Structure 1
Amino acid sequence: MKCLNCGNQITNNLKIKEIFLFKEIIPDYICNLCRSQLAPLSGRNNCPRCFKANANGICSDCRMWEEKYQVINCHQALFEYNQFIHSYFKLYKRYGDVLMAKLFFQDIKSWSQRNHFDVVTYIPASKSHLQARGFDPVYELYADIFDLKQLLTKVDADKPQAQKNRLERLSTPQTFCALPELNQIQKNQSILILDDIYTTGRTLMHAHDIFFRANFKKIYTFSLSR
């Protein structure tokens, strides 16, 4: 198997328990050289609410969400946003290389096996972005791992989040609406909302608000990068 990012050969060294205990073998699509350029967030002094790296306690963003919007963040992420992640999303989203959706399959799958939720949904692409790319990047990133339910629609914003500065991101108005399928979900079920990148948290907080106003209490969020 070759790395989806650089094309180098991937060597999967199976563990004894995977061979003799018939444990599920999760395929890897990223080579060791590319993986060495990642900055995993696990085991670091992250913000306990949003996984911001090296926060040494609750970060200022999460304190702002609590004070201004009465939201206690429950977010997890796998990797710190760095140059490798930036280049990955440039290939995947800007240039539309949909095959890159599987690059982090092993990492996301492993996380999903350790964390369980009743309902898993995601941040959908707006109609214009879907037409421009031909695929929904967040959906494709997680579709082979989770049983995804589309519960939200997103209207087109004035400009993409990637083109906004921090202040513009934080002041972005609500862009989500609930789909009728949301009414079929029991209010006591746990909800996981998936996104690709957590920057200020504004997008996920808008999505969170839709579920909160619908009287869901157990709302969690996750992203590949933070």
Structure 2
Amino acid sequence: MKCLNCGNDIANNLQVKEIFLFNEIPENYICNLCRSQLAPLANRNNCPRCFKPEINGICDDCKMWEQKYQIINCHQALFEYNQFIHNYFKLYKRYGDVLLAKLFYQDIKNWSLKNHFDVVTYIPASQSHLQIRGFDPVYELYADIFDLQPLLTKVDSDKPQAQKNRLERLRTPQTFSPLPAMAQIQKNQSILILDDIYTTGRTLMHAHDIFFKANFKKITTFSLSR
């Protein structure tokens, strides 16, 4: 198999216990060279609420969200945002290489096998972005792993989040509304909201707030990168 990012051969060196224990072994679409350029967040000194790396205790962003929404942020992520992740999303989102949606399949799948939720939804693309790209990048990133339920709709903001500085991101007004399907979900069910990148948390906090105001209490968010 070839790496979806660079085209190099992928060496799947399985351990003996993986072969004989008959555990599910997720497909790998990224080579060792590309993987070596990633910065995993597991087992590091991260903010316990949002996984912001190299933070001693709760970060200022999470303290701000708690003060603003009276909620405790509960977010997990796999990789620190670095140059490799930046280049990946540039190819995947800006240039529309939808095949790259599977690059991190193994990593996300392994996380999903260890973390279980009653309902899994995602941050949807606005209609204009959907028309420009021809696909929803967050949906495609997770669709082969989770049973995704569309529960939110998004209107266009003044400009894309990627083009905003930190202050502009934080000042972005609410852009989400609940879809009718949300009313069919029991309030005691656990909810997972998926996104691709967590920067300031503004987008996911807006989504979180929609569920919180609808009286859901068990809300977790997740992103590929933080």
Asked if TM exceeds 0.5, the reply is yes
Q: CA deviation at 1:183?
A: 0.4
The answer (yes or no) to whether the contact 2:92–2:100 under 8 Å persists in 1 is yes
Q: CA deviation at 1:18?
A: 2.2
Are 1:191 and 2:195 an aligned pair? no
State the match for 1:75 in structure 2: 75
Aligned partner of residue 145 in structure 1, secondary structure? coil
Select between 18-27 and 213-222 the one with higher mean Cα deviation.
Answer: 18-27
- 1:214 and 1:69 map into 2 onto residues whose CA distance is 14
State the match for 1:201 in structure 2: 201
Residue pairs, 1:1-150, within 5 angstroms: 1-150=1-150
Count, aligned residues: 226
**Any stretches of 5+ residues in structure 1 without a counterpart?**
none
The answer (yes or no) to whether the contact 2:119–2:190 under 8 Å persists in 1 is yes
The letter of the residue matching 2:212 is F
Are 1:219 and 2:216 an aligned pair? no
- 1:129 and 1:67 map into 2 onto residues whose CA distance is 32
- 1:217 and 1:71 map into 2 onto residues whose CA distance is 10
Q: CA deviation at 1:21?
A: 1.9
- 2:169 and 2:118 map into 1 onto residues whose CA distance is 30
- 1:151 and 1:195 map into 2 onto residues whose CA distance is 14
Q: CA deviation at 1:98?
A: 0.1
The letter of the residue matching 1:194 is L
The letter of the residue matching 1:17 is K
The letter of the residue matching 2:63 is R
**Any stretches of 5+ residues in structure 2 without a counterpart?**
none
TM superposition score normalised by structure 2 = 0.99
TM superposition score normalised by structure 1 = 0.99
Q: CA deviation at 1:25?
A: 1.8
Q: CA deviation at 1:15?
A: 1.6
- 1:167 and 1:55 map into 2 onto residues whose CA distance is 21
Aligned partner of residue 192 in structure 2, secondary structure? strand
